Amino acid sequence: DTAVSQTPKYLVTQMGNDKSIKCEQNLGHDTMYWYKQDSKKFLKIMFSYNNKELIINETVPNRFSPKSPDKAHLNLHINSLELGDSAVYFCASSPAQGLDQPQHFGDGTRLSIL
Amino acid sequence: SQKIEQNSEALNIQEGKTATLTCNYTNYSPAYLQWYRQDPGRGPVFLLLIRENEKEKRKERLKVTFDTTLKQSLFHITASQPADSATYLCALGRGSSASKIIFGSGTRLSIRP
């Protein structure tokens, strides 16, 4: 009965590979997000979708491509992985757009690039 | 550029005392401020939200203040317990666009018995 679940929890891969991270929320929320948490623990927003529609696309390399097949799912595909992509990636959801909406986070995917 | 600073990387408090965490910001005028708790290996968990026209918000043993003149928020945990040990993040935002959300790097709080 996990509210926001993302898989895999750990991802270890080599530079240059392509990988995907999946996220699902069972809260009935309209808005979903991807965040990156770097080694200094700063959380930075990458993308936001509202009802399957992209509404925020921060300055992120175009090697990162989100896909939302329905409003309960937001997946993240990363092409040509680089060393600097190593981080923890968090998926989150909120009832609607706007910072006055509490965000519900998944437990993160720790991506390590060898 | 916009900047958030949380008072220290780590804070050690004796059980039963009040823990006070600070979130300072510069070059920003947030409309909302949120506090989250993050445990090791887990995602952040929402605790409280306070708006720019609110001075104080309470929830059980938690209290948040928001001073837009000082550009500062204080987060208090009264009667602290070892189970309160975690990293606490503040996040600021303005308007309805989530792209304006900025997170601090957090303060690691340890409550010793």
Cβ–Cβ < 8 Å for A107, A52: no
Give pLDDT, residue B1.
73
**Rounded mean pLDDT, B45-70:** 94
Q: Which of B73, B97, B109 to mutate to test the interface with A (most CBs of A within 10 A)?
A: B97
Give pLDDT, residue A97.
75
Angle at the Cα of B74 from the Cα atoms of B68 and B80, rounded to 5 degrees: 165
With respect to residue B48, please indicate whether it lies within any of the assigned structural domains: yes
With respect to residue B112, please indicate whether it lies within any of the assigned structural domains: no
What percent of chain B lies above the pLDDT cut of 90? Answer: 72
Give pLDDT, residue B99.
61
Q: What is the CATH number of the domain that holds B73?
A: 2.60.40.10
Q: Minimal CA–CA distance to B24: which of B56, B65, B71, B63?
A: B71
What percent of chain A lies above the pLDDT cut of 70? Answer: 96
Q: Which of B5, B96, B107 to mutate to test the interface with A (most CBs of A within 10 A)?
A: B96
**Rounded mean pLDDT, A86-112:** 91
Q: Say yes or no to pLDDT of B87 above 90.
A: yes
Residue A14 burial class via C-beta count within 10 angstroms: exposed 0-12, middle 13-18, buried 19 and up:
exposed
The CA distance from B84 to B86, in Å, is 6
Average model confidence (pLDDT) across chain B? 91
pLDDT band at B98 (very low <50, low <70, confident <90, very high): low
- Identify the weakest region by mean pLDDT among A78-82, A94-98, B70-74: A94-98
Q: Say yes or no to pLDDT of B2 above 80.
A: no
**How does DSSP classify residue B107?**
E
Compute how many other C-beta atoms are within 10 angstroms of the C-beta atom of residue B85. 17
pLDDT, one tens digit per residue, over A39-87 is 888 899 999 888 888 887 777 899 999 999 999 999 999 999 999 999 9
**Rounded mean pLDDT, A97-102:** 76
**Rounded mean pLDDT, A96-114:** 89
Compute how many other C-beta atoms are within 10 angstroms of the C-beta atom of residue B30. 26
With respect to residue B102, please indicate whether it lies within any of the assigned structural domains: yes
Q: Say yes or no to pLDDT of A100 above 90.
A: no
Q: Say yes or no to pLDDT of B57 above 80.
A: yes
Q: What is the CATH number of the domain that holds A89?
A: 2.60.40.10
With respect to residue B111, please indicate whether it lies within any of the assigned structural domains: no
Give pLDDT, residue B102.
87
Please indicate whether, in this complex, the C-beta atoms of B98 and A98 are within 8 angstroms of each other: yes
**Nearest chain B Cα to A9, which residue?**
B41
For residue B113, what are the CA distances in angstroms to A29, B31, B78, B97? 39, 38, 15, 42
pLDDT band at B3 (very low <50, low <70, confident <90, very high): confident
Please indicate whether, in this complex, the C-beta atoms of B96 and A97 are within 8 angstroms of each other: yes
Closest approach of B39 to chain A, Cα-based (Å): 10
Give pLDDT, residue A1.
62
**Rounded mean pLDDT, B70-95:** 94
Please indicate whether, in this complex, the C-beta atoms of B103 and A33 are within 8 angstroms of each other: no
Please indicate whether, in this complex, the C-beta atoms of A33 and B98 are within 8 angstroms of each other: yes
The residue range of the domain holding A60 is 4-113
Q: What is the DSSP string of A18-38?
A: -EEEEEEE-S--SEEEEEEE-
- The total domain count for chain B is 1
Q: What are phi and psi of B71, to 5 degrees?
A: 60, 55
**CB proximity list for A62: less than 8 A, separation 6 or greater:** none
With respect to residue B47, please indicate whether it lies within any of the assigned structural domains: yes
Angle at the Cα of A104 from the Cα atoms of B92 and A94, rounded to 5 degrees: 75
Cβ–Cβ < 8 Å for A60, A33: no
Please indicate whether, in this complex, the C-beta atoms of B97 and A56 are within 8 angstroms of each other: yes
Q: What are phi and psi of A108, to 5 degrees?
A: 90, 155
Strand positions, DSSP E, chain B: 3-6, 10-14, 19-26, 32-38, 45-51, 56-59, 62-67, 72-77, 86-93, 102-103, 107-112
With respect to residue B37, please indicate whether it lies within any of the assigned structural domains: yes
Closest approach of A69 to chain B, Cα-based (Å): 21
Please indicate whether, in this complex, the C-beta atoms of B34 and A99 are within 8 angstroms of each other: yes
Give pLDDT, residue B7.
76
Cβ–Cβ < 8 Å for B50, B64: yes
Average model confidence (pLDDT) across chain A? 91
Query: Looking at beta carbons, which residues of chain B come within 8 Å of A98?
Result: 93, 95-98
**Rounded mean pLDDT, B62-77:** 95
The residue range of the domain holding B15 is 3-106
- The total domain count for chain A is 1
